Amino acid sequence: MTAELLVIGAGLAGTEAAWQIASAGLSVRLVEMRPVRRSPAHHSAEFAELVCSNSFGALSADRAAGLLQEELRRLGSVVIRTADIHAVPAGGALAVDRGQYSAALTAMLEAHPLVSVERCEQLQLPEANQIAVLATGPLTSDALAADLRQFTGREDCHFFDAASPIVAGESIDLSRAFRASRYDKGDADYINCPMDREQFLAFREALLQAEQAELKDFDQASASFFEGCLPIEELARRGEDTMRYGPLKPIGLWDPRWGDVNDRDVRRANRAYAVVQLRQEDKGGRLWNLVGFQTNLKWGEQARVLRLIPGLENAEFVRFGVMHRNTFLESPQLLDATLQFRRRPTLLAAGQITGTEGYAAAVAGGWLAGTNAARLAMGQTPISLPPTTMAGALTHFIATAGCGESRSGKGRFQPMPPNFGLLPELAEPIRDKRRRYGAYRDRSLQDLEPFTLASCADTALQVA
């Protein structure tokens, strides 16, 4: 093994990973291509740049993003600590002065005696004798992405991401929606939201009128490349019936509450004009994605328009649809929950390239990959975090998504932000949402205790 560890990419994940390695007393080379080579989204040459919003999300630990931040604080994350120092007033969110925050992190890493910073594009993955963390994010440069495709043997390292929104299962109104598979084939795997003609036309009109987000993509031509992955608003635009012959096809879907499906008159009188289907996203069936609803509408517009769908009037959106270029790994096939590649344990991956989504999630991946890279170098066993913690739930999700028996397995692996639907159920179910989220928080922080800075000194987890 080479003595110096390598981190590729000084984004949110790479910055955290390099810091954890150096904090463990090991030398690390941090390779960042900016400013030598520009990314289409980054604006500066600083580390851990926030490419869009300046917010890490809700601050309160009884919210999913807030819980993840609190876990990271307790784990000794340098990114979150620096964000706290440079926080600006933002209601209940952790938002930062992005310039000061990035400059501070860059200065800290550049000044660290164990960190050497190299400004160049990494064109290939390192050799197997190099312990390395790959943290090149959703905009991984083309050359490295090509090498990565060769290494993983997978063409489905996605290069254009069109993700459908995900809603919390408990927020779907099953007095209006129903569970069934088309033609009752197999299990009743889908939740179906039926529309009559009037509802469908009103919905289509709302889609047509809704405001689009700026397509924050950089080779817009690729949007037309994926004809099978068109935004729902584009399908609506193509004709009054296009959606009804596509994702909103009603044929073969019947709610037993409508009467006897074998009675022709009953069938004629009651069949739906269009049906929106939701497919299970997680093993526990608590997250549901809207099938074929990849969209480029503004998030506020998505909430407004999609709540016109019968059964989704009170839908809680765990993730909104997005369209942007996004390189991410088919992690369930490739990574363990330690973030090591199964076929090369000396190579770890972190951040959005692993299929987590959002700033704090990228930091969490960086913490774990950096910690495990250091542990490997010191001959210690890599760790995974408890799935009852938000950081652990995310890493377990990306390592196992789609492998459970309850998931239909028909959907592509899609990036996942922190959310409570990823956590295992509580031993005693709590109906009240505020109390339930509070219980998730308490369980998480308790289970995280052996891994926190305060405990590390006394445990085998100590890396320094």
Ligand X SMILES: Cc1cc2nc3c(=O)[nH]c(=O)nc-3n(C[C@H](O)[C@H](O)[C@H](O)COP(=O)(O)OP(=O)(O)OC[C@H]3O[C@@H](n4cnc5c(N)ncnc54)[C@H](O)[C@@H]3O)c2cc1C
Structure-block tokens of residue 464: 């320094």
Q: Count CA atoms within 13 Å of residue 95 on its CB side.
A: 10
Smallest gap from residue 201 Cβ to ligand X (A): 34
Smallest gap from residue 440 Cβ to ligand X (A): 20
Stretch of 36-44, 70-78, 197-205, 269-277 lying at the interface with ligand X (CB under 6 A): 36-44
Q: Based on the shown chain and the rule CB under 6 A, indicate whether residue 116 belongs to the binding site for ligand X.
A: no
Smallest gap from residue 302 Cβ to ligand X (A): 15
H or E element in which residue 208 lies? helix 197-209
Q: Based on the shown chain and the rule CB under 6 A, indicate whether residue 32 belongs to the binding site for ligand X.
A: yes
Closest CB to ligand X among 52 and 427? 52
- 373 neighbors 17 (Cβ within 8 angstroms): yes
Closest CB to ligand X among 135 and 383? 135
Query: For 27-66, b where at least 16 C-beta lie within 10 A, e where not — what string?
Result: ebbbbbbbeeeebebbeebbbbbbbeebbbbbbbbbbbbb
Q: Based on the shown chain and the rule CB under 6 A, indicate whether residue 51 belongs to the binding site for ligand X.
A: yes
Closest CB to ligand X among 66 and 169? 66
Structure-block tokens of residue 130: 């190099």
Closest CB to ligand X among 203 and 320? 320
Stretch of 6-14, 84-92, 101-109, 152-160 lying at the interface with ligand X (CB under 6 A): 6-14
The DSSP secondary-structure symbol of 349 reads: E
Stretch of 33-41, 199-207, 291-299, 431-439 lying at the interface with ligand X (CB under 6 A): 33-41
The DSSP secondary-structure symbol of 90 reads: B
Out of 77, 82, 106, 122, the residue judged to bind ligand X by CB under 6 A: 122
User: Which of these, 2, 4, 5, lies nearest to 369 by C-alpha position?
Assistant: 5
Stretch of 184-192, 278-286, 345-353, 402-410 lying at the interface with ligand X (CB under 6 A): 345-353
Out of 8, 223, 274, 287, the residue judged to bind ligand X by CB under 6 A: 8
Size of the chain in residues = 464
| Contact flags string 137-176 toward ligand X, x per CB under 6 A | xxxxx--x--------------------------------
Q: Based on the shown chain and the rule CB under 6 A, indicate whether residue 109 belongs to the binding site for ligand X.
A: no
Question: 458 by DSSP, 3-state: which?
Answer: coil
Contacts 24+ apart (CB under 8 A), 173-179: 173/310, 173/311, 173/312, 173/313, 173/314, 174/311, 176/310, 176/311, 176/313, 177/278, 177/310, 177/311, 177/312, 178/255, 178/256, 178/257
Bridge partners, residue 323, by sequence: 162
| Contact flags string 207-236 toward ligand X, x per CB under 6 A | ---------x--------------------
Tell me how many residues contact ligand X (CB under 6 A).
35
Smallest gap from residue 49 Cβ to ligand X (A): 6
Binding residues (CB under 6 A) for ligand X: these are 8-14, 31-34, 39, 41-42, 51-53, 121-122, 135-141, 144, 216, 324, 351-353, 358-359, 362
